[in-house]
Structure 1
Amino acid sequence: MRNCMIVIPVLNPNEAFLPYVEQLIKEQFPFIVIVNDGSSKDKIPIFDELSELPEVTVLTHAVNLGKGRALKNAFNYIMNEPEFVTYDGVITVDGDGQHEIDDVIALCRKLEEKNDELVLGVRLFDKENVPWTNRMGNGITKHLFGLLYGKKINDTQTGLRGLPADMLSHFVGIEGERYSYETNMLIVAVQSGMALTEIPIETVYLDDNKESHFNKVKDSVDIYMLLFKNFFKFISVSLTSFLIDLSFFQIFLLVFSFLIKRNQIITATILARGISSLFNFTLNKKWVFESDREWKQTFFSYYALVAVTAIVSGLSVYWLFKLTSIEELVLKIFIDAILFTISYRIQKSLIFTAKK
């Protein structure tokens, strides 16, 4: 017997689905959870027949709730099973026949061999049978994920995944009801410091991927919104901090015009920047990156980064102006935009990281 559970979310399975599940059983997978995610009534006989197999449990959604919801419900069901603790992990398999049985076995062997890593079955998108839309979509998502989260994953939308039993609880309550859930799983894994490993699998697309229920517009938008969600929060906090900085600068400038006669601008700048940067630090830690690290660990690192970026910005603008004679404001906008992105990555990956 193989020591892995199988989870298959499926909507309106084709005639090959039942034989596929029976083949998994022949390959000694003893615990298979199938989620009927709102399939049409004419598919009920398939699920009735599956329910009669002792190795299979069928969970039913009366209406289509999405792949993410189907996976979460299956995970929750499995974790309430007494025998769950005896298994090395869970393998998620798509219900459209695109995952070869041998690849499912390979992921199970990897979990049995080392059940402390999230295992991803990675497709090769340079094959001739891969639709160009899938090739382009994966390329964009892969590079965006690496840029925003600092982790190279070659197939961010693979549905063939091996989840160690100890990791399953991390994924039950996270955001995502449709295909964006699988992207969020990777975000949570990276942010939590989980180890990931990739295994090449066969790249199968049947009838130009017509069996897939992935909505190229809606689901793509959901995925990219999720990828950029953290970055958008970072931008909004930075913009608010900028407005606070300007407001307090004007207030202090007005107050100091009556109290002191020298260095009003410098004094007002330092005080306003101190207030705005403290606001920025607090919201980045608590809201943007949701870091649980101690304040001492992050406070000095954050302000060291602020100081370094200010110095780099000033020197870069100065030397580029000397070399090119381009207007200083244009150079500053260009340099600061680059430093802004770098600062985001450093804060996310080094300063406000979660405890492992």
Structure 2
Amino acid sequence: MENIKTDMEDLSISTELPRDGLDSHLTAEKALDSHPTAENNYNDDDMKFLVVIPAKDEEITIGSLVALARRQGYDVLVIDDGSVDRTSEIARVAGAKVIKNNHNKGKASAVKKGFKYAVEKDYDAVVFIDGDGQHNPEEIPIVLNPIVEGKADVSLGFRFGNNTEMPMWRRIGKRILDYLTGIAGAEVTDSQCGFRAFNKKAIKAMAGELKGEGFSVESEELILMKKANLGFAEVPITCRYNGLAKTSTKNPVSHAAGIINTLILVIGERHPLLFLGLTGLLMFILGLGIGLWTIWRYYAGHYFSFLYAGVASMLVVVGSITTVMGVVLNVIPKIIKRELE
């Protein structure tokens, strides 16, 4: 263990990647021996790499993550998103450059700052990993490989099979979000994994276009990737959940709700006929059905329900308007595009 004294207090940087409440800690030395780093088949001197770690209150894990990345020769940037613990101090002692937000602004803000920093410092590639310890820094070269070999602009890690400790409820939620992201225009194996690498072309595209907030940034990156016609590769990675103090600073329900809300807005913007047209058609059919049933009840039992009649009328009117809006919003952009060409 290396002890470095600062003017604030003694900070200890351990080569262990701690597990809260567990006696069997994973040390950096053991990790490098038991999980060999992928062999670099490129010249490191020709490219500048940056590892970005968004973090909030991650003093338990941040030191080891930074140390493992630095040990492989990568520059490390930690975006401290308003931590109230020693995350920033420990990251600095471990060798990272730190940018700290005065208050919590969400993961998207941290990711955008990472891209902006990479552009300003002219890095050839940037890798993002989470700060809670679920990602293995020794796999950075594996995720980077498609970038340095020129096979992709974006390299996406995906959690799969026995390589992940993901709880069942997370697997189900991931499937749903993967499906919605696919509808939004970016079909990939794991839409929510934060372990990703971007080349210079992709970095510039992301830095100028990312607008999302909170934890919806992963889905937005994929949508922008498709929009910018960036090539991508998918790389299997390991992922830990068991034994970690926490794997998200946000409630899972609100996390998923925020992502779904963003995806719905994107789907509505990019696929108005699907989102508005189909929704409006379903409302129209439902209203028509209720209306016919109300009329049948009147003729069969001489009883007329003004409530059901009102609901039916509202659904038919709103459904018709929504369907027309979907058709119009789907056609207008195509007409404008044709005129510009």
What TM-score, normalized by structure 2, do the two folds share? 0.65
Whether 1:33 aligns to 2:68 is: no
Change (3 A) 1:282 1:295: farther
Identity %: 23
In 1: Cα distance, 2:163 partner to 2:70 partner:
30
String of CA shifts for 1:5-31, please: whole Å, max 9, x gaps.
1111111113332122112111111x2
Q: Which residue of 1 aligns with 2:102?
A: 62
Which runs of structure 2 are paired with 1:295-334 in the superposition (5 Å)? 295=339
SS, match of residue 252 in structure 2: coil
SS, match of residue 210 in structure 2: coil
Q: Which residue of 2 aligns with 1:6?
A: 51
Q: Which residue of 2 aligns with 1:93?
A: 129
SS, match of residue 124 in structure 1: strand
Which runs of structure 2 are paired with 1:124-139 in the superposition (5 Å)? 124-125=160-161, 129-139=165-175
In 2: Cα distance, 1:137 partner to 1:89 partner:
30
How many Å apart are 1:33 and its aligned residue?
Answer: 1.1
In 1: Cα distance, 2:151 partner to 2:119 partner:
16
CA contact (8 A) 1:126 1:135 kept: no
Q: Which residue of 2 aligns with 1:18?
A: 63
Aligned amino acid, residue 59 of structure 2 = N
How many Å apart are 1:191 and its aligned residue?
Answer: 2.8
CA contact (8 A) 1:89 1:115 kept: no
Aligned amino acid, residue 192 of structure 2 = Q
How many Å apart are 1:32 and its aligned residue?
Answer: 1.5
Which runs of structure 2 are paired with 1:122-161 in the superposition (5 Å)? 122-125=158-161, 129-149=165-185, 151-161=186-196
CA contact (8 A) 1:121 1:200 kept: yes
Q: Which residue of 1 aligns with 2:312?
A: none
How many Å apart are 1:107 and its aligned residue?
Answer: 1.4
String of CA shifts for 1:34-69, please: whole Å, max 9, x gaps.
11110004445314424xx3xx31101011111110
How many Å apart are 1:138 and its aligned residue?
Answer: 0.8
In 2: Cα distance, 1:159 partner to 1:100 partner:
12
Aligned amino acid, residue 233 of structure 2 = T
Aligned with residue 157 of structure 2, among 121, 127, 136? 121
Query: Considering only aligned residues, what root-mean-square deviation do their CA atoms show, in Å?
Result: 3.2
Q: Which residue of 1 aligns with 2:229?
A: 193
Whether 1:49 aligns to 2:88 is: no
Change (3 A) 1:125 1:183: farther
SS, match of residue 181 in structure 2: helix
How many Å apart are 1:180 and its aligned residue?
Answer: 0.3
Change (3 A) 1:230 1:177: closer
Change (3 A) 1:201 1:41: closer
String of CA shifts for 1:142-195, please: whole Å, max 9, x gaps.
22333442x431111111001111111222242212110111111111233221
Q: Any unmatched runs of 5+ in structure 1?
A: 243-275, 298-356
Aligned amino acid, residue 71 of structure 1 = V
Which runs of structure 2 are paired with 1:199-348 in the superposition (5 Å)? 199-207=235-243, 210-233=246-269, 234=272, 238=277, 283-284=329-330, 293-295=337-339
In 2: Cα distance, 1:292 partner to 1:192 partner:
20
Aligned with residue 179 of structure 1, among 182, 199, 215? 215
Report the structure, 1 or 2, having the larger strand content.
2
CA contact (8 A) 1:68 1:178 kept: yes
SS, match of residue 9 in structure 1: strand
In 2: Cα distance, 1:128 partner to 1:121 partner:
12
SS, match of residue 22 in structure 1: helix
Count matched residues.
Answer: 252
In 2: Cα distance, 1:226 partner to 1:207 partner:
31
Aligned amino acid, residue 219 of structure 1 = H
In 1: Cα distance, 2:268 partner to 2:84 partner:
39
Report the structure, 1 or 2, having the larger helix content.
1
